[in-house]
Structure 1
Amino acid sequence: MDWSPLWISLHTAVATIIVVFFIGVLLAWQVERLHSETGKIVVDAVITLPMVLPPTVAGFFLLYFFGNNRVLGQLIYEVFGVRIAFSWLATVLAAAVISLPLMYRSARGALSQVDHGILEAAQSLGMTEWRIFWRIHLPNALPGIIAGGLLAFARGLGEFGATAMIAGNIAGRTRTLPLAVYSAVAAGDWEAAGWYVAVIVAICLMVVIGLNWYLYKTKKELER
């Protein structure tokens, strides 16, 4: 039984959530600061688009831009000496693109719930936007942001379509758990596929239970 897909998936999911957590929160904060409602709608649609597109379509765009023979892929190789396509970095890139909208939407929803009266009072006292974000916006929105982070982690763990397109299905290198399930079924090894499925379900179930427990504890603390 090859358990390398489990470690590849976990490493990918951890790296993904580190990336999308900060990018998603900052994007959500910047969109919330926009004064134009039309601008908010357009930017929100662009950021959210990967969440509603078929993952293979998102993977096509990633391969189109980051492929080893494409301009951006070649530029990255020439500058950093790194090949993106069909490497472990490609699994992170695919998972990040697919899970970022979920992180962004959760963060934006949490940030929009912060009392605007408090924010206006802080502005009237001369606090900078950056300080308001760190001292008021972020602490008040943190429960929703953490909830979004947990969901994004689970989404990154289960990414399949975009990963298959940009990273391939290379054993011991880019074969994540979802790809391992597909490969095992294709090879007729239902026992291995069953084990991989059980691991994915167990991890995702723990994430959801942890999320529900965290939200329950947060709710209880707010009611005190």
Structure 2
Amino acid sequence: MAASFWSPVLLSAQIAVVSTMIVALAGISAAVFMAKRSFKGKVLLETFLLLPLVFPPSVTGFLLIVVFGTRSPAGQLILTIFGSPVMFTWWAGVIASSVVAFPLMYQAVKTGLQAIDCDIEDAAKVDGAGAGKVIWHISLPLALSSILTGLILSFARALGEFGATLMFAGNIPGKTQTVPTAIYMAIESGDMELAWMWVLTIVALSFIMLAAVSFHSSRK
């Protein structure tokens, strides 16, 4: 019982951690590029980046199957390199969680970067700092609070991902079964006690994440 209970919890945490690392890299990079630039098509590009935030989970899962399925170019490439498809694997859960969590990271960091006084960055450039140094030594440190908020929200979102993960990664116990999918299956089988235990676990973890965000915001 203990092993079967903790397996989805540990898997959810592992997927959330790896997803958050991927989202941090992608979200910060995209936010740095988009925050203070103006170019033709920016609105369309930003809308595209934020789409997973409003997509129904089934749509996200369907699109991931289309993009990474064995009949797609990406799916064929993965099959050639690794010898097996990405669907119904641990990495499928990571991809699904990363896609749905990315907009939260991107939006949080972009908001933090846009709040920085341009005079501070301009002063560093006047003193001879290049664009890269300004970003690493001025912009990102000043936006650290927003970055941490994005990390926490992204982790919480990845931890609770259900729909896209169920469609793309499946629900294989010990392999792709996360807490949300485990709760679903427990309810389907009528095991309400087990479902409640998982619900309380993920509620507690989510509460801690959101409390951390609120604590961070109150200290700004």
Q: Which residue of 1 aligns with 2:38?
A: 35
Find the partner of 1:110 among 106, 109, 112: 112
Aligned letter for 2:73? V
Q: Which residue of 2 aligns with 1:124?
A: 126
Q: Which residue of 2 aligns with 1:138?
A: 140
1:82 offset after TM fit, Å?
4.8
Summarize the alignment of residues 56-67 of structure 1 with structure 2, pairs less than 5 Å apart. 56-67=58-69
Aligned letter for 2:216? Y
| Secondary structure at 2:112 match in 1 | helix
Task: Kindly provide the CA deviation profile for residues 126-183 of structure 1, in whole angstroms up to 9, marking residues without a partner as x.
Answer: 3211110001100000101101110110000000111011101111111100000100
Alpha-carbon distance in structure 2 between the residues aligned to 1:150 and 1:175: 22
Does the Cα contact within 8 Å between 1:32 and 1:40 map onto a contact in 2? no
1:114 offset after TM fit, Å?
0.6
| Secondary structure at 1:170 match in 2 | coil
Summarize the alignment of residues 38-117 of structure 1 with structure 2, pairs less than 5 Å apart. 38-117=40-119
Given the alignment of the two structures, is residue 158 of structure 1 paired with residue 160 of structure 2, yes or no?
A: yes
What percent of counterpart residues are identical? 39
Does the Cα contact within 8 Å between 2:36 and 2:114 map onto a contact in 1? no
Summarize the alignment of residues 142-221 of structure 1 with structure 2, pairs less than 5 Å apart. 142-216=144-218, 218-219=219-220
Given the alignment of the two structures, is residue 15 of structure 1 paired with residue 18 of structure 2, yes or no?
A: yes
Which TM-score applies when normalising by structure 2? 0.94
Which TM-score applies when normalising by structure 1? 0.93
Given the alignment of the two structures, is residue 24 of structure 1 paired with residue 27 of structure 2, yes or no?
A: yes
Does the Cα contact within 8 Å between 1:67 and 1:166 map onto a contact in 2? no
1:184 offset after TM fit, Å?
0.4
Alpha-carbon distance in structure 2 between the residues aligned to 1:71 and 1:135: 40
Aligned letter for 2:125? Q
Q: Which residue of 2 aligns with 1:222?
A: none
Alpha-carbon distance in structure 2 between the residues aligned to 1:42 and 1:34: 14
Alpha-carbon distance in structure 2 between the residues aligned to 1:185 and 1:98: 24
Aligned letter for 1:95? S
Aligned letter for 1:71? P
Alpha-carbon distance in structure 2 between the residues aligned to 1:14 and 1:81: 25
1:210 offset after TM fit, Å?
1.9
1:122 offset after TM fit, Å?
1.8
Alpha-carbon distance in structure 1 between the residues aligned to 2:126 and 2:35: 19
Where in structure 1 are there 5+ consecutive unaligned residues? 220-224
Aligned-residue RMSD, C-alpha: 1.3
Alpha-carbon distance in structure 1 between the residues aligned to 2:59 and 2:182: 21
Aligned letter for 1:145? I
Task: Kindly provide the CA deviation profile for residues 85-129 of structure 1, in whole angstroms up to 9, marking residues without a partner as x.
Answer: 100000000000000011100010011001111112222223211
1:33 offset after TM fit, Å?
4.0
Report how many residues are paired. Answer: 217
